[in-house]
């Protein structure tokens, strides 16, 4: 059995920088035609010059792979309309992080006073620049995303013309928000469709499954599966593939992030087939993203064969999900 996917997109991707970028970029470039690139470098991507320089480094790391990096800025409340107009043609979105809530987010937003954020968010609305949000508070770890729902509601109500992407949602409450506001959309990762907190810490601790937002309850995973498998038009695939060196994951103070990029399409195909939903995979990994963001990536065809594939133990020192395990599909 073979399966052909056209122009697959990853709408939430960490490529890092330096040697890590060089080592892992092609693991996305080989199978995806483009991706929304996260800006939480050290220092973060905050200027037009930062965007263009990072884009150039990504293109160099990709080599001859057909791949479009859709660039983002790290949100600052100081961005005014003049600045955003000057960068509009070089970015696809702006990414908002609550301060200190995840990797390299210390310079994020400390409060969510709508009036303080209004000048920037109104300018983004007028310029049709989407806002991507890491939606967590600093409360109890299992409640952080649910607690953030009220902030999404305030933002969606105050800025009805602003397209807001709830990134890597993990809860039923976030899924429910999709039906309440026309301007709320979401990305869903591969790993949150597969695992619950039990897989991470129910037995021996599995550091390579530890991520933020942390995996939740079975009923939350089931809610994500329902909208993903049915290719709900307001959801799209965003891997949140987040590489860390093996020594940073298998350590006290384990870094948060799951590396899924090299095998994401194969495992998605296996998952959708298991649930008799293969006919919806194309919409989940491409069509919905094109409609939501209005992007038109370069044409790319990926063919998967129902041939077992042994996942390597690591990719240049980064351990992937399902390392040393066999998955059902291989890439031709």
Going from N- to C-terminal start, the domains of the chain cover 2-331
d(Cα 167, Cα 164) in Å, to the nearest integer?
9
d(Cα 231, Cα 246) in Å, to the nearest integer?
34
Any binding-site annotation on 276? no
d(Cα 29, Cα 60) in Å, to the nearest integer?
12
7 close to 300: Cβ distance less than 8 angstroms: yes
pLDDT, position 9: 98
pLDDT by residue, tens only, the chain of 332 residues = 899 999 999 999 999 999 999 999 999 999 999 999 999 999 999 999 999 999 999 999 999 999 999 999 999 999 999 999 999 999 999 999 998 888 888 888 888 899 999 999 999 999 999 999 999 999 999 999 999 999 999 999 999 999 999 999 999 999 999 999 999 999 999 999 999 999 999 999 999 999 999 999 999 999 999 999 999 999 999 999 999 999 999 999 999 999 999 999 999 999 999 999 999 999 999 999 999 999 999 999 999 999 999 999 999 999 999 999 999 999 99
pLDDT of 68-101, one tens digit each?
A: 999 999 999 999 999 999 999 999 999 999 988 8
Any binding-site annotation on 240? yes
Any binding-site annotation on 3? no
Coil/strand/helix, residue 25: helix
pLDDT, position 110: 85
Q: 268: part of which helix (H) or strand (E)?
A: helix 264-274
pLDDT, position 101: 85
Whole-number Cα distances in Å, 321 to 9, 90, 91, 191, 326: 19, 32, 30, 8, 11
Any binding-site annotation on 275? no
pLDDT, position 111: 81
- Among the listed residues 10, 220, 240, 283, the single catalytic one is 240
Distant-in-sequence, close-in-space partners of 293: CB < 8 Å, separation ≥ 6 = 11, 36, 70, 92, 93, 130
For the chain, list the strands marked E by DSSP.
2-6, 9-13, 34-37, 68-70, 72-74, 93-96, 131-133, 164-166, 184-188, 235-237, 301-305, 309-310, 326-327, 330-331
d(Cα 196, Cα 10) in Å, to the nearest integer?
22
d(Cα 34, Cα 189) in Å, to the nearest integer?
16
What's the chain's Rg over C-alpha atoms? 19
Distant-in-sequence, close-in-space partners of 250: CB < 8 Å, separation ≥ 6 = 207
Any binding-site annotation on 40? yes
CATH 3.10.105.10 for domain 2-331 = no
Say what angle helices 48-62 and 18-29 make with each other, to 10 degrees. Answer: 60
> From the centroid of its chain, how far is CA 101?
16
Terminus-to-terminus CA distance in the chain, angstroms? 12
62 close to 101: Cβ distance less than 8 angstroms: no
Burial class for 89, CB neighbours closer than 10 Å (0-12, 13-18, 19+): exposed
**Residue 143 falls in the annotated catalytic set:** no
Any binding-site annotation on 244? yes
pLDDT, position 106: 85
Any binding-site annotation on 246? no
Any binding-site annotation on 12? yes
125 close to 161: Cβ distance less than 8 angstroms: yes
Any binding-site annotation on 256? yes
Any binding-site annotation on 6? no
pLDDT, position 112: 87
How would DSSP label each residue in 269-327?
A: HHHHHHTT-GGGHHIIIIIHHHHHH---PPP-EEEEES--EE--S-BTTBPPTTTT-EE
């Amino acid at each position: 059995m073979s399966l052909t996917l056209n122009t697959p997109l990853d709408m939430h991707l960490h490529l890092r920088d330096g040697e890590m970028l060089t080592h892992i970029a092609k693991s996305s470039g080989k199978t995806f035609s483009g991706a929304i690139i996260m800006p939480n470098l050290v220092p973060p991507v905050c200027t037009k010059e930062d965007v263009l320089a990072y884009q150039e480094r990504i293109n160099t790391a990709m080599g001859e792979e057909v791949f479009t990096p859709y660039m983002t800025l790290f949100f600052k409340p100081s961005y005014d309309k003049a600045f955003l107009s000057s960068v509009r043609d070089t970015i696809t979105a702006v990414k908002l992080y609550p301060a200190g809530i995840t990797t390299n987010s210390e310079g994020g937003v400390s409060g969510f006073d709508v009036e303080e954020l209004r000048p920037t968010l109104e300018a983004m609305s007028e310029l049709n620049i989407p806002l991507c949000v890491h939606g967590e508070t600093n409360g109890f770890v299992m409640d952080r995303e649910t607690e953030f729902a009220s902030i999404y509601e305030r933002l969606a109500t105050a800025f009805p013309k602003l397209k807001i992407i709830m990134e890597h949602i993990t809860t039923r409450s976030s899924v429910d928000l999709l039906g309440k506001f026309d301007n709320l959309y979401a990305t869903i990762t591969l790993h949150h469709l597969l695992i619950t907190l039990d897989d991470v810490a129910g037995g021996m601790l599995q550091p390579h499954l530890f991520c933020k937002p942390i995996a939740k309850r079975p009923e939350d995973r089931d809610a994500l599966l329902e909208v993903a498998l049915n290719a709900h038009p307001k959801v799209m695939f965003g891997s949140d593939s987040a590489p860390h060196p093996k020594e940073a994951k298998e350590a006290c103070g384990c870094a948060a992030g799951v590396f899924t990029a090299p095998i994401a399409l194969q495992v998605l195909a296996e998952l959708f087939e298991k649930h008799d939903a293969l006919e919806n995979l194309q919409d989940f990994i491409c069509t919905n993203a094109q409609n939501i963001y209005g992007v038109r990536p370069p044409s790319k065809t990926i063919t998967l064969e129902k041939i077992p594939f042994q996942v390597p133990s690591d990719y240049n020192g980064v351990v992937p999900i399902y390392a040393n395990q066999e998955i059902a599909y291989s890439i031709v």
